[in-house]
Structure 1
Amino acid sequence: MAQDSVDLSCDYQFWMQKLSVWEQASTLGTQQDTCVHLARFQEFLRKMYEALKEMDSNTIFERFPTIDQLLAKACWNPFILAYDESQKILIWCLCCLINKEPQNSRQSKLNSWVQGVLSHILSALRFDKEVALFTQGLGYAPIDYYPGLLKNMVLSLASELRENHLNGFNTQRRKKISLPMSAVVCLWLRHLPSLEKAMLHLFEKLISSERNCLRRIECFIKDSLLPQAACHPAIFRVVDEMFRCALLETDGAPEIIATIQVFTQCFLEALEKENKQLRFALKTYFPYTSPSLAMVLLQDPQDVPRGRWLQTLKHISELLREAVEDQTHGSRGGPLESWFLFIHFGGWAEMVAEQLLRSAAEPPAALLWLLAFYYSPHDGRQQRAQTMVQVKAVLGHLLAMSRSSSLSARDLQTAAGQDTETDPRAPAQQLIRHLLLNFVLWAPGGHTIARDVITLMAHTAEITHEIIGFLDQTLYRWDRLGIESPRSGKLARELLKELQTQV
């Protein structure tokens, strides 16, 4: 309990200073900082309430002499007051200050002050007051806001009624009121639950849709307006954090990784459309990584000459290895944070195996490390080194077999160690399966045995879905980068279609 008390006092001083800074909410920087810290501030308020409800009014002011100032600053901040949970907890905290039977004029004045602040909170919940408070905080006058909102709503309703008339009033269509992008961003910055709801709606659509179809996922993501809104760093951070939670909850499911990569691609396209030069520093979007690593990853492989792809991947590997192995495991900027950043950029992450298989030279250690890290970020140095040795040996066997005049699926599986009793769900086994799939797509003799290889590999529904996902993602990436060969593309599409009919 003593430690809790010390922690709360330290947090109190921190948030008192923050609230003083946030009072100057006319600048974009303070608005952005408020949105980024809202969740933590809400948690502080909850802890504060737990402490206050155990004390009487006199004890509260002995312990926290400026508690009235702190709560007042929070209650007059439109960005804090907009958050439903913050409103509720602020009301609870204020009620703790009330003296049920005031003994002197100071206590009576305090009661009057609390009642006034509560009245302010409750009046701010009305729509017209809320909009005025918010638009004023953003620097807009209500006279500029209301006509635009009304005009947009009327146009949307007219358009919808026209569509319903032409379609025989199809009730299966949504009654959808569209808002300008600027209004959507303002709404999501102002009211975080609506942003969270938009993300949950996107997750629901992704779950209910056909698995392993990145084109459809891309359409869902773009229709959600989230990539465009994420150009504002505060929104990007909330969205990215929800993706991180989904990734952890699913233990790194390939479908979630693919969705994050598609979202990042859509976000970067929106960012490029909005401004040719970054309005916000990269560190605002990716605060836990070095700017140099983020800058390299942000390069679209389409904009890098193909002859330099290998060199770029080596550079990415060097920067990641430095970030991963020079940090303590479990630190905020440690291995998992670096991996989370890397998986965003599928254009680079997914081409490592291809580059290794399409090169006849000795496999570069940097690429072996990058591949081992991508598939198993939890591993320590020693375990990752063992994976690198295993992958190097498999690559050697595959390279030798590519020169063979007669290939068989069984020999290929044996050479890759896929005929052992090893757990097929192990990350190293998934890595080797993807090497084999890349081999049959690119090796001169691989096309003839591709179906036999997949038949031997896909002995469970889970692995079948994994192979479908791999083929869909490969075709999606090839299409974007324009790197597929006609034969490989044709084979991949045929295999994908055949496997989809089986599940």
Structure 2
Amino acid sequence: MAQDSVGLSSDYQFWIKKLSTWEQASNLETQQDTCRHLPQFQEFLKHMNKTLKEMDSKTIMKNFPTIGQLLAKACWNPFILAYDESQKILIWCLCCLITKEPLNSAESKLNFWTRGLLSHILSTFRLDMNEVGTFTQGLGYEPADYCPALLNNMVSSLVSELQENHLNGFNTQKRMTPGHIRSLSQVCVPLITLPDVGPLVEALLTYRGHEPQEMLCSEFFEAVNEAVLLKKISLPTPAIVCLWLQHLPSLEKAVLHLFENLISNEQNSLRRIECFVKDSLLPEAACHPAIFRMVDEMFRYTLLETDGAREIRAAIQVFTQYFLEALEKENKQLKFALRTFFPYASPSLVMMLLQHPKDTPQRLWHQSLKHMSELLREVVEGTAHRSYGGPFESWFLFVRFGRWSDMVAEQLVMSETEPPEALLWLLAFSYSPRDGSLQRAQTMVEVRALLGCLRKLLRSSSLLASEVLAAARECRDGDPRPADEENREGKPCQQLAHCLLLNFLLWAPGGHRIAREVITLMAQTDEITQEIIGLLEQTIYRWDQLCVEAPESRALVRELLAELCGQA
């Protein structure tokens, strides 16, 4: 080792003089001399890199005080950068100079200077075109063509090195050191959005080392996540999954970014919510159970904090829909059991909810909802309460599958027979899950009475808006909750009545004729107007998903939405 160091010191002095000579002269003779010595200089760099890897930064600066000068001269020489894999070897040498945890200003300054030089290598297109012009023209390139090609070649080389390192596993003779990989991630931070650097970013994210600690720096994760969220870069889903698994703050920020989009506009339509959720890439990433659980917990907490805000409920439903589609596409044989994703739910209930209504004959929808109600009621009020997480978990599960939960009111209104208790319970539970069994029973009585009034109105020769509103008022006035609790719950009985009325107006003969008058009288506040807009949007969205043929009702819903959104 000592003999190697003596030989290296001798070579070191020779090459630093050579680099100074090449830097000072730019004539043809100097260029020829540079090209002639490039193979030997690269061998010297390899030897130097091997030696530096065995030292810490303090020892390096003690043994080679002018190492920065040597590497800087090499990095700014276009002939050296263009030769074979010189860029990669120079990067490894520079990474050895970085102190992971600088203890003083001198070490911090050295880190800053080194990273600047590393950034220069990776973004060689910043080189002065006049500086490289002679060389590139000699190769038959235009400078503007040559420099991006140089960056591409360098990135390809680094990606290959990472992949080879991954395949070598514990073969320590060929493995990159964690320090090198960490430094490389730091170098990439200012270059994240460059398209040519994308493969290197992906390779770093998907790299699987054998170290107990994270090798990539947090700044790298944060920069990549920011670029992904702002659509400045595009990465494949596996790379994004690796990002969010390795750096949970990035996953949290991705979910919060989605929430910000949802609440930034009071008039977010379901279509806009659908676009926000889909563009967030969270449904695809959630196919990994760890990511699903994190996103699910944030949705659960936000749902509680916002008292079941419409945008959050809609986002949860859309997220679940796209998540299930992605899970089916990725796991044809269900790599992860559904129990992994829904640990607090009854397996038989989950399997029923997973069945899409459009795959079930329409005549059986009533029966399917009745069966779901029985399973939910057993959990909420029966002996299975402790096994599956209690009322809130059951409600949260039902909310996820909006394609079923939004059908209950419509099925009750369209039924020509006495409403079954199972569907009444399901509707009351979905609108007010915090109620106890006595309060829920009272709500069921009121809903049954309202449905009875509406059925009588169906037999009326001329349907009047005042009669419809009077029926709804009876349900609202019968709400037994104190005022403060009613407000905290979002006026569930009133919202429930509005939902039933809207479905009645859309399906009852003569309902279309008085729909505008009824809604105008109902929508006395901005809050109720937004509530009605949300109900109409959910209706048309559900019909589109289920391919429901109702051309006249569809036209009416769209007209009402246009008018109400214009007033809001």
Which residue pairs with 2:327 in the alignment? 271
Which residue pairs with 1:481 in the alignment? 546
Pick which of 341-350 and 262-271 moved more.
Answer: 262-271
What is the Cα deviation at residue 209 of structure 1?
A: 3.5
Which residue pairs with 2:287 in the alignment? 231
**1:129-278 equivalent positions in 2, closer than 5 A:** 154-155=195-196, 176-209=232-265, 211-278=267-334
From 397, 402, 419, the counterpart of 1:363 = 419
Distance 1:351 1:194 in 2: 36
- For the residue of structure 2 that corresponds to 1:216, the secondary structure is helix
- For the residue of structure 2 that corresponds to 1:293, the secondary structure is helix
Distance 1:361 1:140 in 2: 72
Conservation of the 8 A alpha-carbon contact between 1:230 and 1:267: yes
Conservation of the 8 A alpha-carbon contact between 1:327 and 1:333: no
From 505, 510, 535, the counterpart of 1:445 = 510
| TM-score (structure 2 length as normaliser) | 0.59
Which residue pairs with 2:349 in the alignment? 293
The two structures, once aligned, show a CA RMSD in angstroms of 3.4
Tell me which amino acid in the other structure corresponds to 2:406: E
What is the Cα deviation at residue 277 of structure 1?
A: 2.8
Conservation of the 8 A alpha-carbon contact between 2:262 and 2:312: no
Distance 1:400 1:457 in 2: 21
Distance 2:383 2:245 in 1: 34
From 397, 401, 404, the counterpart of 1:348 = 404
What is the Cα deviation at residue 329 of structure 1?
A: 7.5
Q: For the structure 1 residues 330 and 494, does the alpha-carbon distance in structure 2 shift closer, same or farther, using more than 3 Å as the test?
A: farther
Tell me which amino acid in the other structure corresponds to 1:250: T
Distance 1:324 1:136 in 2: 50
Tell me which amino acid in the other structure corresponds to 1:433: H
From 356, 380, 392, the counterpart of 1:336 = 392
What is the Cα deviation at residue 307 of structure 1?
A: 1.4
Distance 2:196 2:474 in 1: 61
What is the Cα deviation at residue 122 of structure 1?
A: 6.2
Question: 1:289-309: per-residue Cα shift (whole Å, max 9, x none)?
Answer: 111111111111111111111
Which residue pairs with 2:215 in the alignment? none
Which residue pairs with 1:496 in the alignment? 561
What is the Cα deviation at residue 154 of structure 1?
A: 3.6
Question: How many aligned positions are there?
Answer: 361
What is the Cα deviation at residue 326 of structure 1?
A: 2.2
- For the residue of structure 1 that corresponds to 2:473, the secondary structure is coil
**Higher relative contact order by CA 8 Å / sep ≥ 6: 1 or 2?**
1
Q: For the structure 1 residues 400 and 201, does the alpha-carbon distance in structure 2 shift closer, same or farther, using more than 3 Å as the test?
A: same
Which residue pairs with 1:398 in the alignment? 454
Distance 2:379 2:510 in 1: 40
What is the Cα deviation at residue 288 of structure 1?
A: 0.6
Question: 1:123-174: per-residue Cα shift (whole Å, max 9, x none)?
Answer: 9xx999xx98xx979x89989x99xx9999645779xxxxxxxxxxxxxx96
What is the Cα deviation at residue 319 of structure 1?
A: 0.7
Conservation of the 8 A alpha-carbon contact between 2:378 and 2:384: no
Q: For the structure 1 residues 175 and 346, does the alpha-carbon distance in structure 2 shift closer, same or farther, using more than 3 Å as the test?
A: closer
From 412, 425, 428, the counterpart of 1:372 = 428
Distance 2:438 2:546 in 1: 35
Which residue pairs with 1:306 in the alignment? 362
Tell me which amino acid in the other structure corresponds to 1:189: L
Q: For the structure 1 residues 230 and 439, does the alpha-carbon distance in structure 2 shift closer, same or farther, using more than 3 Å as the test?
A: same
Tell me which amino acid in the other structure corresponds to 1:375: Y
What is the Cα deviation at residue 484 of structure 1?
A: 4.2
- For the residue of structure 2 that corresponds to 1:406, the secondary structure is coil
Mind listing any 5+ residue stretches in structure 2 that lack a counterpart? 1-98, 103-110, 116-157, 200-228
Distance 1:449 1:393 in 2: 22
Conservation of the 8 A alpha-carbon contact between 1:152 and 1:179: no
Q: For the structure 1 residues 478 and 452, does the alpha-carbon distance in structure 2 shift closer, same or farther, using more than 3 Å as the test?
A: same
What is the Cα deviation at residue 330 of structure 1?
A: 8.9
Q: Give identity over the alignment, percent.
A: 63
**1:13-32 equivalent positions in 2, closer than 5 A:** none
Conservation of the 8 A alpha-carbon contact between 1:227 and 1:270: yes
Tell me which amino acid in the other structure corresponds to 2:534: G
What is the Cα deviation at residue 372 of structure 1?
A: 0.5
1:387 aligns with 2:452: no
Distance 2:475 2:362 in 1: 36
What is the Cα deviation at residue 476 of structure 1?
A: 0.9
Distance 1:496 1:237 in 2: 36
Tell me which amino acid in the other structure corresponds to 1:202: L
What is the Cα deviation at residue 211 of structure 1?
A: 2.2
Conservation of the 8 A alpha-carbon contact between 1:156 and 1:177: no
Distance 1:245 1:368 in 2: 28
Distance 2:395 2:532 in 1: 22
Q: For the structure 1 residues 397 and 212, does the alpha-carbon distance in structure 2 shift closer, same or farther, using more than 3 Å as the test?
A: farther
Conservation of the 8 A alpha-carbon contact between 2:192 and 2:198: no
